[in-house]
Chains A and B, each alone.
Chain A
Amino acid sequence: MTTLYVLDVPENTGVAKVAAEDPAVSVGRIGPYFEITASGAITIDRRATGCRHAVWYSAVAGVARDSRITQHDKNALRVEPV
């Protein structure tokens, strides 16, 4: 299981929206956060999100202990099961 948390603020909505376009990924809510989950890897394309760099590199609020970020660069954010 892969779980990623992103705070629901206007700058971050593109992150959740692009994540949700993958049918293997679910986007739910916990409090004011998007809870983005999948049984396998979650990959989010930065350019598709429309996030400028300052937003992109600070968009992740939390990563569950059974998951880890394996890519977070100008191209994509990738979170995989540990």
Chain B
Amino acid sequence: MTRPDHRVKGVDHAAFPTFDPAGTVRFYRDVLGFPVVHSICAVGWGPEDHPDFIHFFFDIGNDDRIAFFYYFGTEPFNTGPYNKTGRGDAYSAFGPEVPTYFIRSRHLAIHVDTYEDLIEYRRRLDASQWPVEMQIQHETIESIYTHDPNGYMVEITRAMRPVTPQEDLDANLTIDALLDVVAEPGPSLAKLLARKAELIVECAAQWELERAGHERP
């Protein structure tokens, strides 16, 4: 199947609301050292109930940015659960029926190149009121985690080694197998691994031959 060509160039900005601009600036600018690179002071326009707001941006490297909206005169909407139990953030709140793994699934991960850089950010966070909560070696990346003043989970991560071409193949076979099993009732990991085994037999040997052909001078 021919797919559309790939033209995008990374994250322009990922935007989040904040009710705590002072804490947000302390965390991103003063603790982490992310420069303020852009801000918009806007009178509320468009929908009649839109308040005046500040939209401000921090550089997260690679010219990518994290951005926040601060709305004047607007109180937090999720005052109960977030403030009382910490289960949620400035954007959303979760009751006791929502498992923690699910709440933690949505987060922003910011890349660093080296272990030294990771530890430098760990040092900065640990010296602040937002210390690192976890440092974990995953399969091929190592990460530190904390929550920013808005309750958003932030990860900083480094690759322990480069991703190899065979991992891209494997990822594509996983996704093909996933689409096949979610199209049927009762998807499960066991069903996915069975389907993926079939795709490995169909595709993997040929892929390696084709790749060897491409690499031949």
- Footprint of B on A, CB under 8 Å? 3, 5, 7-11, 30-33, 52, 54-55, 58, 60-65, 68-69
Contact = CB atoms under 8 A, between A and B. Distances in A.
A16 B76 CA distance: 53
Contact of A5 (B140, B166, B200): B200
A32 B194 contact: no
Interface residues of B, number: 27
Given A3-B197, A10-B161, A69 B190 contact: yes
A32 B204 contact: yes
Given A32-B170, A32-B204, A62 B194 contact: yes
A13 to B, nearest CB: 13
A8 B166 contact: yes
Given A60-B193, A61-B170, A69-B190, A30 B139 contact: no
B190 A62 contact: no
B137 interface: yes
B140 A11 contact: yes
Interface in B175-217: 190, 193-194, 196-201, 203-208
A63 B136 CA distance: 28
B75 interface: no
A68 B139 contact: no
Interface in B142-197: 161, 164, 166-167, 169-170, 173, 190, 193-194, 196-197
A-B pairs with the 7 shortest C-beta distances? Answer: A31-B204, A62-B197, A32-B166, A62-B196, A31-B208, A63-B193, A64-B197
B208 A32 contact: yes
Contact of B207 (A3, A31, A61): A31
Contacts of B198: 62, 65
A63 B169 contact: no
Given A61-B170, A62-B199, 11 more contacts: A30-B200, A31-B200, A31-B208, A33-B204, A54-B137, A62-B194, A62-B197, A62-B198, A63-B194, A69-B190, A69-B193
Contact of B138 (A7, A33, A54, A64): A54
A54 B206 contact: no
A68 B190 contact: yes
Nearest to B204: A31
B141 to A, nearest CB: 9
Contacts of A30: 200-201, 204-205
Given A7-B167, A11-B139, A54-B138, A31 B205 contact: yes
24 contacts: A3-B197, A5-B197, A7-B166, A7-B167, A8-B166, A9-B164, A11-B139, A11-B140, A30-B201, A31-B166, A31-B203, A31-B206, A32-B170, A33-B204, A54-B136, A55-B139, A61-B197, A61-B200, A62-B193, A62-B198, A63-B193, A64-B197, A65-B198, A69-B190
